[in-house]
Chains A and B, each alone.
Chain A
Amino acid sequence: AQRVTQPEKLLSVFKGAPVELKCNYSYSGSPELFWYVQYSRQRLQLLLRHISRESIKGFTADLNKGETSFHLKKPFAQEEDSAMYYCALKISRGSARQLTFGSGTQLTVLP
């Protein structure tokens, strides 16, 4: 089955501490993975995609095919990082390539 699992519904860290949001996937094909973020009262927006290998707002995520993981990391969390984070996987549905989302992790960065 094609699935994205985010095991932590809630995650709290103190400002300046490292943060890691976990994401595991199940997909028989070549995975295309993304992290989306939703700040309070704002729309969902793309944070980063694995194919770009970029760092956005200090966040990075490495695709580990052996562990089927795509964890999101930041070495020093900031209060403005508090948000809902969704890991997403592109899957094939008919002729379409579509996003399937994990259940999300609510990150709270405490002062």
Chain B
Amino acid sequence: EAQVTQNPRYLITVTGKKLTVTCSQNMNHEYMSWYRQDPGLGLRQIYYSMNVEVTDKGDVPEGYKVSRKEKRNFPLILESPSPNQTSLYFCASSPTARTDSTEAFFGQGTRLTVV
């Protein structure tokens, strides 16, 4: 089944403790991105990747890192999480970002709480 898989689904952590949220897609998509979803603010893009070893900042990259060593994986790294990073995170992938009309496929979401 074609899908985007995030892990973990739920995570509670303490301020300053490094964590990684994994994202994997099995559709051979070039383009992957991370969003955070907050009430009243909708989805805001954190980072995106056009292809392997090509990543760039989105609208709200502060406090986050990403890597794209393989096409299928795009982990989101919080080196020193803070309470304002408490949010619902979504990973998404698309065949490419070079043309229009391509659908974005989303993961199930990761609900992160930083205390």
Contact = CB atoms under 8 A, between A and B. Distances in A.
B104 interface: yes
B101 A44 contact: no
Contact of B48 (A42, A46, A98, A102): A98
A68 B22 CA distance: 38
A110 interface: no
Contacts, number: 58
B42 A96 contact: no
Contacts of B33: 98
A101 B90 CA distance: 13
Interface residues of A, number: 25
Contacts of B101: 32, 49, 51
A46 B43 contact: no
B74 interface: no
B56 interface: yes
Interface in A61-111: 86, 90, 93-104
Contact of A97 (B42, B44, B100): B100
A97 B98 contact: yes
Contacts of B43: 44, 86, 101, 104
